[in-house]
Amino acid sequence: MDEQEIRVDRPQRWDQPFGGQLLPDQLVDWTLTGTVLSFACSDFQSSGATLSEILKNDARLIEYQPGDIIIRKGDYGGSVFFGLTGSIHVLTDATGDSVLQTSKMLKKRTWWQAISQLWKNSSEPESRSDAGTGFSTIDLMELIKRSRSIPGDIDQFSRKYKSIEIPLGRSIGEIAALRRSNRSATVFAAKKTTCIEVRLQGIRDICRKSRMFREYLESEVRTRSLGNLFSEIPLFHKIPTTDKSKILDVIRFERHGNEHWNHGLRSIMGNKDALLAQETPVVKAGWRLDGFFLLLNGFARISRSTRGVTETVDYLRPGDIFGMEELIEAIDSGRTPVATKDFHCIGSTDLLLISTPAFQKYILPHISREDLLKNFSRPEREIDISKNALEFLVNHRTINGNQTMIIDLDRCTDCDDCVKACATTHDGNPRFIREGYRHAQLMVASACMHCCDPVCLVGCPTGAIHRELSSGNVIIQESTCIGCATCVESCPYDNIRTVEIKDAVGRPIIDTVSGNPILKATKCDLCIDQPSGPACVNACPHDALHRVNFGDRDLSAALWGNS
């Protein structure tokens, strides 16, 4: 063996049980008989796979005291919970959420710690202080205990704010797990409670083997998405409670598109014809509209075809509406509602269809036409982003970004201060490349966009790449990264890379068995532990670099309006 090498065992999928140790057999048996996970038993028996082994590794037992918050509305997380004992309630009163303190799960560096990075960083590229696993694991359970409880008396809180008890054994948190979105409701323990928490990797493996359990979860997603509709969507805030229940009776849930939309995308990025062939048409111009569509998850292209040429005129993200302008004009003129534009789903998309009669009967009487058109519709004449820029953004799927790095090349002087600042805050290693796709004077740099639909999370065998609990930023926990590069292949934007790591003095770290270098996935983490936010933005002396959320139309229009 080369004395200049450090040899360690390569991390594996099953190295780190979710709870620190394997779930005991007694708890596994209890989970399989006392929760809806029993639906999966027959499928696993016929396939020869072992459900118990998945639960032993990917599940853990959590005990909650009265008033402890199990999941908090707005937080991120991919695990699903199953109650074993106690009493679990979901908060249905929005005012109750407003009194709960915002969670702060990740401890940031102090200003002195941030400044001292200038001289404390290692001189060796990609060095790690712990040669075996990288950075230490954050004890999330301790953070949860410190920051997640209902203030005051739980009985008084329950009387003041409306909540509904969830039967023991039912799944909790499946919407965020299956849709890679934030938590849609706050769930808390009303009494001393025990839950089994199964991380995303275990849920994914169970769903692959069990059709019955997968269909159960999808059914729960549909039902609970409708239940959260009126608190999540501003359009329905002015609707009386009696009419809301009537809307639920007639609303239609639709799911369109391909969940694996990122596969092969790199090879056709920017090719509109090839991309359109992969998109799912929901409505074509000239088709009769049965109502208006509300997009719950995913994103979509809105376009118009003239003489065989398709022109992109807008895009939709979660919470956006399609068809309302046409619906109102048709109702006022007494005509049949007809679509004036094409509506194509990009990737896997959840939609709600509110029918024309329901719109007329339950929504129009409570919200003026002017208010509807101003706040809940996007007439083409009010879209400030140029048509060429829209084509570029949609054809490169940049609209998926929540924190996309945009560089104005007219302002950029190639000083590289942004790259240097990034390296300083990441132990001497920059986490982005100042290159990328260009449109006019603007460039979409090769940096993690912290996407609305982060497909890089799909397939990670250990959950090392995940959304940070309170911010939703996509980060990598190095201690559980096994260097498999699944996230690298899954990211269609080529914004994640694997690196060969070294120890603190620069010796390469080698796998004991194969003799190959140990790899770790790296990418932009938006300087999540820095007190001042993204170092790249702060360091630019010419205001050339911006982070853009394409869900914020005003900000995106300010950058792209004249491009």
- pLDDT reading at 153 higher than 90: no
CA distance 284 to 275: 17
CATH code: domain of residue 246: 2.60.120.10
The reply to whether 443 and 474 lie within a common domain is yes
DSSP state of 127: B
Q: Which residue has the higher pLDDT, 179 or 549?
A: 549
Q: Domain end: 321, 353, 377, which one?
A: 377
pLDDT of residue 257: 87
Q: Domain end: 377, 412, 427, which one?
A: 377
Query: What residues make up the domain containing 454?
Result: 393-560
pLDDT of residue 139: 44
- pLDDT reading at 54 higher than 90: yes
DSSP state of 129: S
For residue 275, give the nearest of 396, 371, 179 by alpha carbon: 396
Give the confidence band of 381 by pLDDT, cuts at 50, 70, 90.
Answer: very low
Q: Which of 43-47, 216-220, 397-401, 550-554 has the lowest mean pLDDT?
A: 43-47
With respect to residue 141, please indicate whether it lies within any of the assigned structural domains: no
With respect to residue 290, please indicate whether it lies within any of the assigned structural domains: yes
The reply to whether 279 and 350 lie within a common domain is yes
pLDDT of residue 138: 39
With respect to residue 138, please indicate whether it lies within any of the assigned structural domains: no
Contact indicator for 192, 86 with CB cutoff of 8 Å: yes
Give the confidence band of 126 by pLDDT, cuts at 50, 70, 90.
Answer: low
With respect to residue 226, please indicate whether it lies within any of the assigned structural domains: no
Report DSSP letters for 442-472, one per residue: EEEEES----SS-GGGTT-SS--EEE-TTT-
The reply to whether 433 and 403 lie within a common domain is yes
User: Mean pLDDT over all residues of the chain?
Assistant: 85
Q: What element of type H or E holds 332? A: helix 324-333
Give the confidence band of 134 by pLDDT, cuts at 50, 70, 90.
Answer: very low
Q: Average pLDDT for residues 323-336, to the nearest whole number?
A: 93
Q: Domain end: 327, 344, 377, which one?
A: 377
Tens of pLDDT along 538-554?
Answer: 999 999 999 999 988 77
The reply to whether 430 and 356 lie within a common domain is no
The reply to whether 544 and 465 lie within a common domain is yes
Tens of pLDDT along 460-488?
Answer: 888 889 888 778 899 998 888 888 999 99
Q: Which of 135-139, 333-337, 520-524 has the lowest mean pLDDT?
A: 135-139
The reply to whether 200 and 51 lie within a common domain is yes
With respect to residue 222, please indicate whether it lies within any of the assigned structural domains: no
Tens of pLDDT along 387-417?
Answer: 888 999 999 999 999 999 999 999 999 999 9
The sign of the CA dihedral 445, 446, 447, 451 is positive
The sign of the CA dihedral 523, 526, 531, 535 is positive
The reply to whether 519 and 370 lie within a common domain is no
For residue 294, give the nearest of 254, 260, 346, 259 by alpha carbon: 254
The reply to whether 292 and 198 lie within a common domain is no
Q: Which residue has the higher pLDDT, 232 or 63?
A: 63
- pLDDT reading at 141 higher than 70: no
With respect to residue 33, please indicate whether it lies within any of the assigned structural domains: yes
Give the confidence band of 384 by pLDDT, cuts at 50, 70, 90.
Answer: low
The reply to whether 398 and 485 lie within a common domain is yes
With respect to residue 202, please indicate whether it lies within any of the assigned structural domains: yes
CA distance 80 to 428: 37
pLDDT of residue 44: 86
The reply to whether 48 and 196 lie within a common domain is yes
Domain count for the chain, please give it.
3
Let me know how long the chain is: 563
CATH code: domain of residue 450: 3.30.70.20
* R_g (Cα) of the chain, nearest Å: 25
For residue 103, give the nearest of 78, 65, 72 by alpha carbon: 72
Q: Give the three-state DSSP class for 374.
A: helix
The reply to whether 157 and 22 lie within a common domain is yes
- pLDDT reading at 145 higher than 90: no
With respect to residue 505, please indicate whether it lies within any of the assigned structural domains: yes
The reply to whether 335 and 284 lie within a common domain is yes
